Chain A
Amino acid sequence: QQQVKQSPQSLIVQKGGIPIINCAYENTAFDYFPWYQQFPGKGPALLIAIRPDVSEKKEGRFTISFNKSAKQFSLHIMDSQPGDSATYFCAASDPSGGTSYGKLTFGQGTILTVHP
């Protein structure tokens, strides 16, 4: 059972475009929602993260939008660059001691390609 569903699977944009990657979750106990960026041949690295007490978080060109009632969150990349081409994973974690305690549950990943 995939507790975090991510879409689209792949995304192609032109330089300067604003790719948007969406994630939806089921477990209302999730309390931490990070996004990881992975370049080919490398391990994932934390990009940006949000907690459900805010609806938006911005770091540089990367913004997370969070909709608690809809159980959805998304990553927006402003003024995208070819160097942003990577695989992006959303994730969620539950601190409450439920079945997901101590775990980070990832989405399926989105392969982003930014053309020059």
Chain B
Amino acid sequence: EAQVTQNPRYLITVTGKKLTVTCSQNMNHEYMSWYRQDPGLGLRQIYYSMNVEVTDKGDVPEGYKVSRKEKRNFPLILESPSPNQTSLYFCASSKGLVVYNEQFFGPGTRLTVL
């Protein structure tokens, strides 16, 4: 089954404790992206990657890191999480640029930073 998977689905952590949210897709997609969803703000893009070793900042990249060492994986790293990073996070992938291709979203990771 074609899908985007994220782990963990739920995470409660404390301020400053480094964490990684994994994202994997099995559709051989070139484009991958991370979003955060907050009430009243919709989905905001954190980082995106147009191919292996090619990443760029989205609209809200502060406090986050990403890497794209393999085509299928695009982990999101929070080096020193803070309470304002409490949010619902989505990973997404598409065959190519979003302007020409449908994005497929993962099921989401709900993160709480205490």
A positions within 8 Å CB-CB of B: 6, 9, 31-32, 34, 41-46, 49, 89, 91, 93-95, 102-109
Are B48 and A102 in contact, with the CB atoms below 8 A? Answer: yes
CB distance from B87 to the nearest CB of A (A): 14
Are B59 and A43 in contact, with the CB atoms below 8 A? Answer: no
Are A9 and B40 in contact, with the CB atoms below 8 A? Answer: yes
Chain A residue contacts of B102, Cβ below 8 A:
34, 46, 49
Are B45 and A104 in contact, with the CB atoms below 8 A? Answer: yes
A106's contact among B31, B40, B43, B56, by CB below 8 Å, is which? B43
Chain A residue contacts of B107, Cβ below 8 A:
41-43
CB distance from B77 to the nearest CB of A (A): 20
CB distance from A86 to the nearest CB of B (A): 13
- In order of increasing CB-CB distance, the 9 nearest A-B pairs are A43-B105, A93-B99, A95-B99, A106-B43, A108-B42, A104-B98, A106-B42, A32-B99, A46-B102
